[in-house]
Amino acid sequence: MENYKIRKIDDSTWQLEDLFRTYLYLIEGEEEAVLFDAGNGFSGLKEIVSSLTDKPVTVVLSHGHFDHTGCAAEFNSCKICEADVEVMEEGFNGENRAAMIQKFSELFQVSLSEEEKKYMKEAKAPGAYSFLKEHDVLELGGRKLEVIAAPGHTRGSICLLDRKNRYLFSGDTICNREILVYFSHSAAVEDVKASAEKLLSCQKDYDNIWPGHHECPLSKDLIEDYAEAAKHIMKDPSIGKKVVMDTEYKLLYEYKTIGISYLYDHVYRKTTDKNKK
């Protein structure tokens, strides 16, 4: 069973899909390459990347979640938004990793060998990393990636804008179906709205959106849908339907083909008084 599927987007851009259906993107310039996200930690990633590019590779993390950070330590350089370091490190706790591997194996109906489970459970957080911030530009040689801070799903979520090739790599900020904004480390629905509006403000610079999960590439219309859905929730936080999960619940508001899952205390930014309703 192959751990990764390779999809060639163009001669210097590839999408890698792991067995738990997370997308990673290898983005190559003339001098350097970026691996946008590092997946769930399945074996073989570094070898696949090395077969596609001979350029030095920097891992850039869209956010700190388990399913996007797994193989980050296998590469020499890693970048992440400082706000997501704590959640990234929590994802490398042994018990947390074992629980997530079991959960995702059942969810995606994947039967893993004991050797593969051991490999994934023993994954380590990057030993060193540098921080990304809004408007940073990653110079790859004849190709630039611009960092766009996009809090919502997590406080430290980012997107990468490739103006030359007219791509937006959105991580979990923009996905079809649903984004989750109910974690203790999530930002707020208000931030989802602001991030969507920020992405819309530069929509003249990209045609295709390459997300972290689900259908792709995506239309820019989805960004407008997220902005509109967030407005609806902010106007009436009770608009979402209650969905019971294992030991808790979430509110899910569905709009067209997308959805936002949230909790009442994740509607407004904590710096405002509106969350006191």
SS (H, E, C) the chain: CCCEEEEEEECCEEEEEECCCCEEEEEECCCCEEEECCCCCCCCHHHHHHHHCCCCEEEECCCCCHHHHCCHHHCCEEEEEHHHHHHHHHCCCHHHHHHHHHHHHHHCCCCCCHHHHHHHHCCCCCCCCEEECCCCEEECCCCEEEEEECCCCCCCCEEEEECCCCEEEEECCCCCCCEEECCCCCCCHHHHHHHHHHHHHCHHHCCEEEECCCCCCECCHHHHHHHHHHHHHHHCHHHCEEEECCCCEEEEEEECCEEEEECHHHCCCCCCCHHHC
CATH number of 4-110+122-236: 3.60.15.10
Identity of the amino acid at 178: E
Residues lower than pLDDT 50 in the chain: 272-277
Q: What is the CA radius of gyration of the chain?
A: 18
**How many CB atoms are located within 10 Å of the residue 271 CB?**
9
Identify which of 138, 165, 159, 211 has the alpha carbon closest to the alpha carbon of residue 12.
165
Give per-residue pLDDT as tens, 73-122: 999 999 999 999 999 999 999 898 999 999 999 999 999 999 999 999 99
Return d(Cα 144, Cα 83) in angstroms, integer. 24
Give pTM, 2 decimals.
0.94
Could you state, in order of their start, the residue ranges of all structural domains in the chain?
A: 4-110+122-236
Q: Left (φ > 0), alpha (ψ -120 to 50) or beta: where does 21 sit? A: left
Instruction: Identify the pLDDT of residue 183.
Output: 95
Instruction: Identify the pLDDT of residue 277.
Output: 34
Instruction: Identify the pLDDT of residue 94.
Output: 87
Return d(Cα 78, Cα 82) in angstroms, integer. 12
Give per-residue pLDDT as tens, 25-40: 999 999 999 999 999 9
Instruction: Identify the pLDDT of residue 1.
Output: 60
Instruction: Identify the pLDDT of residue 272.
Output: 46
